[in-house]
């Protein structure tokens, strides 16, 4: 008994020592590293990984070299005609080899037609089923990411075409399950994997990146994964390979301009928002018909409303400027061409991102 | 006969220039960056004098940087470093190979240079370009040409 008690104390002492040495400046001084060249870790992406705005690169986040650890926190705000998005997260790079990331994403809608459905649903006490809020519905997703650099070098081997190559994966959990189901998605959480190739061509002061992603995400997962017919029937969540591309031209050692392309699927195309009995009728607008007539004075009928709730998805494009006044922070301003998102058309707008690195 | 003499003279001239271009003491070769470097890079650096001035600025910034200054203070004679680096940079920028120093791997083998220290010199290189009003794009031609030495220099 006495012996086991003694070893228990040793255990606690050992743990305390490990904890202390973790926080002591001395041991961190050995691992902390900010020796990487400006912007070569990429900035904070919407998935949390190091890269451009939307596309994860093969570079490892943070300013660490192969001898240390570095990382940071990022915040991104996007304003679109019918949506606004917040991304808050962080990422850590280990030895310029491995990266872990997390991002918490919130999408707020400003959609009159969806609000109308939500209002009617709440009048009829159906709101629990649809996950909608008459005052503007929200989508919420958390993304966990990991990336491993395999081989090649983006920056230093300027005499070889071999690009820096990395593989990575995300696990995305959408906590607004009912809303995602209403949008006809098959799953509210899923993983995706990618392979990225990055190379800097100093001759032209240009960085080029190609990423291939294996995923079934709708709108990067914000509206779920895969799709179903109305009533959550005939669900299909097959993953596919999608191509992403980004390029950045360096105007200064700490200032780059560029553009990105991200291929999206279109699994929810022409799928109406799944409102169950509310809009289920063919031609008569289901339960909603008499109510909408009273609510909006017959300006639009329930059938028109249903037509306006048909979804579509487009490939994403953006142009950006990234500026790193010091190694401790960077600012990225972009203009996004996101096309059709769910029931809203032509969602183009401004993107502002801050990345603070320690 | 006249044509023969001219050919002979041309041949002699060529072999002489070949002798000059490959001096026996050269211990480092020109790098071969993909896509090459702009042909006017040396001119845009201000020719030989421009490169010399840039190297002087480079060592000014290196000696101000506590991460790397001690290494140069201990192992490098800055005056000699400036002389040899001018030759090296002229060579990699497309000028003649007159480099008289040791190969990059031999010169750095025992120093245990880390990636962070190497990158500190890269930062000093960009600062030197800014100080000498050499355009960023032109500066990248030199970075492009020197980058392949990284594996020879960084040994830790």
Q: pLDDT tens digits, residue range B10-39?
A: 554 444 444 444 444 557 888 889 888 999
| ipTM of this complex prediction, to 2 decimal places | 0.81
Cβ neighbours of B117 in A, within 8 Å: 35
Chain B neighbours among A 110-169 (CB < 8 Å)? 155-161
Ramachandran sector of residue A179 (left: φ over 0; alpha: ψ -120 to 50; beta: rest): alpha
Residue A284 banded pLDDT, cuts 50, 70, 90: very low
What are φ and ψ of residue A145, in 5° steps? Answer: -130, 150
Task: Locate A155 and state its tokens.
Answer: 């920056």
In which region does residue A175 sit, left (phi positive, over 0), alpha (psi from -120 to 50) or beta (all else)? Answer: alpha
Non-local CB neighbours of A221 within 8 Å, separated by 6+ positions = A141, A143, A172, A174, A190, A192
A276 phi, psi to nearest 5 deg: 60, -135
Interface check A30 vs B, CB under 8 A = no
* Least confidently predicted of A88-102, A174-188, B5-19, B48-62: B5-19
Characterise A171 by phi-psi region: left (phi > 0), alpha (psi -120 to 50), beta (else): beta
Mean pLDDT of A328-356: 94
User: What domains, with CATH codes, occur in chain B?
Assistant: 26-153 (1.10.490.10)
Q: What is the dihedral of CA A121, A125, A126, A129, to 10 degrees?
A: 130
> Is A210 in the B-facing interface, judged by CB distances under 8 Å?
no
Q: Is the pLDDT of residue A109 over 70?
A: yes
Helices (H) and strands (E) in chain A, counts: 7, 18
Q: Which residues of A1-16 are buried (b: 16+ CB within 10 A; e: fewer)?
A: eeeeeeeeeeeeeeee
Burial-class residue A194 by CB neighbours within 10 Å (0-12, 13-18, 19+).
buried
Across the interface, of A35, A203, A253, the residue whose CB is closest to B37 is A203
**Does residue A345 sit at the B interface (CB-CB below 8 Å)?**
no
Q: What residues of chain A lie within 8 A of the CB of B145, using their CB?
A: 158
Across the interface, do B141 and A203 touch by the CB < 8 Å criterion?
A: yes
Name the H helices within B22-94.
41-44, 47-64, 69-75, 78-92
Distances from the Cα of B81 to the Cα of A279, A301, B67, B99, B100, angstroms: 80, 82, 18, 12, 11
Q: Which of A130-139, A188-197, A256-265, A339-348 has the lowest mean pLDDT?
A: A130-139
Could you tell me if A208 and A57 are in contact, meaning their C-beta atoms sit under 8 angstroms apart? no
> If interface means Cβ-Cβ distance under 8 Å, which residues of chain B face chain A?
31-38, 114-117, 119-120, 122-123, 126, 136-137, 140-141, 143-145, 147-148, 150-151, 156
CB contact under 8 A, A252 and B123: no
Tokens of B81: 């470093």
Residue A14: the pLDDT is: 57
Per-residue model confidence as pLDDT tens digits over A226-276: 999 877 888 999 999 999 999 999 999 999 999 999 999 988 887 777 776
- Give pLDDT, residue A114: 82
Q: How many CB atoms lie within 10 A of CB A295?
A: 15
- Give me chain A's average pLDDT, please: 85
State the residue for tokens 């995602």: A180
What CATH number labels A29-273+309-357?
Answer: 2.40.160.40
Q: How far is CA A294 from the centre of its chain?
A: 40
Buried b (16+ CB within 10 A) or exposed e, A258-289: bbbbbebbebbeebbbbbbebbbeeeebbbbb
State residue A5's pLDDT score.
Answer: 45
Contact status, residue A317 vs residue A288, Cβ threshold 8 Å:
no
Residue B108, annotated as binding a ligand: yes
Alpha-carbon gap: A86 to the closest alpha carbon of chain B (Å): 34
A204 close to B (CB below 8 A): yes
CB–CB of A202 and B123 under 8 A? Answer: no
Residue of A33, A157, A158 to mutate for B, most B C-beta atoms under 10 A? A158
pLDDT at A1 over 50: no
């Amino acid at each position: 008994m006495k012996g086991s008690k003694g070893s228990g104390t040793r255990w606690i002492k050992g743990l305390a020592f490990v904890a202390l040495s973790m926080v002591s400046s001395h041991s961190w001084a050995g691992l902390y590293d900010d020796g990487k060249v400006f912007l070569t870790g990429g900035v904070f992406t919407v998935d949390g990984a190091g890269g451009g705005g939307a596309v994860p690169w093969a570079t490892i986040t943070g300013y660490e070299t192969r001898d240390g650890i570095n990382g940071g926190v990022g915040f991104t705000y996007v304003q679109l005609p019918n949506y606004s998005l917040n991304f808050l997260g962080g990422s850590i790079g280990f030895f310029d080899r491995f990266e872990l990331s997390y991002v918490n994403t919130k999408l707020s809608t400003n959609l009159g037609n969806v609000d109308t459905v939500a209002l009617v649903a709440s009048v009829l006490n159906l709101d629990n089923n649809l996950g909608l809020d008459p005052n503007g519905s929200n989508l919420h997703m958390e993304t966990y990411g990991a990336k491993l650099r395999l081989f090649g070098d983006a920056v230093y081997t300027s005499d070889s075409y071999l690009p820096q190559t990395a593989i990575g994966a995300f696990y995305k959990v959408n906590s607004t399950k009912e809303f995602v189901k209403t949008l006809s998605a098959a799953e509210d959480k899923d993983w995706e994997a990618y392979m990225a190739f990055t190379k800097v061509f100093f001759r032209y002061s240009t960085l080029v990146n190609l990423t291939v992603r294996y995923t079934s995400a709708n709108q990067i997962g914000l509206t779920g994964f895969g799709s179903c017919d109305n009533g959550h029937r005939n669900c299909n969540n097959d993953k596919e390979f999608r191509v992403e591309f980004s390029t950045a031209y360096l105007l200064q050692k700490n200032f780059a301009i560029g553009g990105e392309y991200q291929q999206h699927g279109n699994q929810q195309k022409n799928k109406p928002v799944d409102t169950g009995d509310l809009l289920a009728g063919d031609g008569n607008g289901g339960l909603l018909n008499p109510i909408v007539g009273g609510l909006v004075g017959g300006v639009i009928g329930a059938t028109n409303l249903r037509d306006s709730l048909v979804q579509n998805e487009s490939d994403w494009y953006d142009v950006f400027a990234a500026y790193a006044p010091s190694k401790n922070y960077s600012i990225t301003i972009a203009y996004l061409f996101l096309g059709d998102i769910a029931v809203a058309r032509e969602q183009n707008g401004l993107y502002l991102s801050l990345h603070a690195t320690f | 006969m006249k044509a023969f003499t001219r050919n002979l003279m041309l041949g002699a001239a060529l072999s002489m220039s070949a002798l000059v271009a490959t001096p026996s003491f050269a211990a480092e070769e020109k790098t071969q960056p993909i896509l090459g470097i702009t042909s006017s890079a040396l001119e845009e650096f201000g020719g030989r004098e421009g490169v010399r001035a840039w190297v002087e600025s480079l060592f000014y910034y290196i000696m101000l940087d506590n991460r790397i200054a001690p290494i140069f203070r201990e192992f490098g004679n800055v005056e000699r470093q400036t002389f040899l680096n001018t030759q090296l940079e002229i060579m990699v920028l497309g000028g003649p190979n007159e480099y008289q120093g040791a190969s990059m791997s031999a010169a750095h083998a025992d120093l245990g240079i880390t990636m962070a220290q190497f990158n500190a010199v890269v930062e000093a290189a960009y600062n030197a370009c800014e100080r000498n009003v050499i355009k960023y794009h032109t500066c990248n031609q030199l970075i492009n040409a020197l980058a392949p030495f990284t594996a020879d220099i960084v040994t830790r």
